Amino acid sequence: MYIKKFKFVFSFTFILYLSLPVNGNLKYESENLKMKIYFSYSDKVGQDAVIKGKIISISTSEIPPENELSGVIQDRTKVTVRLIDREGLHSDNTLYVIDPNNLVVSKLKVKYIFDNKTLGNMLIGYGNFSLSNNGYRVVKAVSDHKAGDSYIYKTRGDYYYRTGDKGKAIAEYKKAIEMDRDNPNPRLALGLVYYKDQIYNFAYAELSAAYKSISSLYDNEDRFMLLKSLAEIREIEAYKNVNLFENRVKFRSEGIKYCKEALKINKNSVEVNYLLGEFYYRKIGSATEDDKLARDMFLKVVELDESHSQANMRLSELYLKHNNKEKGMYYAKKAAESDPSNRKALEIIKPYE
């Protein structure tokens, strides 16, 4: 029985693999993403929509639909859709299936959105798909014309950035922002471009604007990246760039806030735990009680990565500061083991050799 089941799953997966490109998400020319869909043959006006993907399989739902009084599970009530991308999609979204003439033939309710290493972003949806076929396009209706245009420009920007044309990518992201100033996705993308180019004032302007609409970012990975980047910029502004004392205090406080919010999403991030420890350790006119908070964060870092030389060094300095020579030596040795070129650690160890 298990062998038969394995053969079926393997055969289905292999056929699916052969029938589709293997480079992640579906690829469309960005100009062709936006379209008109029609809900009946007599519909002459149509509805603006954006293509989200294509059906790759139609099957039977595991549970009967809520409006099915008989309790009998019907055939062709579940679809698997390969997506162009996940942006703007959530579970419980309503999408439409269209035929080659752009006529709506089915409505689906999004149940799950997930990532497949071979096929890219996918979704599972439920509905009545008796008139749908594999290869039919799945679209999202756009009630706000500007929001739809923003999505198109953002997708173009992503394409240009991936292909190395940063100038065009920036131009497309700016157009996307002009079309929908409340959409955080193009602001996040543009902010990250500026951040990688070390244009920190521009980066922070875009990222902080995206932060105001962070609830509209569907993906926790995007939220985490936004918060982490904001915290890193504030660390640079607080400690590395020349700023007024009161501004440095403000930047440190904001950096701590962003770190805490990021850790709510990914509590095991070595980078953010260490960054928060640094904010606590490198005080700007604050109380000495931050030493304990710094210690706790650096201990978390070495718990996650015991070879983290910088965190071990900070722990050594903290314990020696508070006259705990035994632990100070212990963490200095750990720092030197991880990084034999760590001069501070070697200077601490040398008198006791």
What is d(CA 308, CA 300) in angstroms, rounded to the nearest whole number? 11
Sign of torsion over alpha carbons 273, 240, 189, 168: negative
Q: Residue ranges of the domains in the chain?
A: 22-143
pLDDT of residue 175: 95
pLDDT of residue 25: 55
- Token pair listed for 42: 């007599």
H-state helical runs in the chain: 2-19, 145-162, 166-179, 184-196, 200-212, 220-239, 245-265, 270-281, 290-304, 309-321, 325-338, 343-349
Report the DSSP pairing between strands 137-141 and 94-98. Answer: antiparallel
Q: Please, are residues 180 and 212 in contact by the beta-carbon 8 Å criterion?
A: no
pLDDT by position in tens, the chain (length 353)? 444 444 444 444 444 443 444 445 555 555 478 899 988 777 788 888 999 999 999 998 876 544 443 344 578 899 999 999 888 788 878 899 999 999 999 989 999 899 998 889 999 999 989 899 999 999 998 766 666 678 889 989 999 999 999 999 999 999 999 988 888 999 999 999 999 999 999 999 999 999 998 987 867 889 999 999 999 999 999 999 999 999 999 999 999 999 999 999 999 999 999 999 999 999 887 655 689 999 999 999 999 999 999 999 999 999 999 999 999 999 999 999 999 999 989 988 887 66
DSSP three-state, residue 33: coil
What is d(CA 284, CA 277) in angstroms, rounded to the nearest whole number? 14
Q: What is the second-level CATH architecture of the domain 22-143?
A: Beta Barrel (2.40)
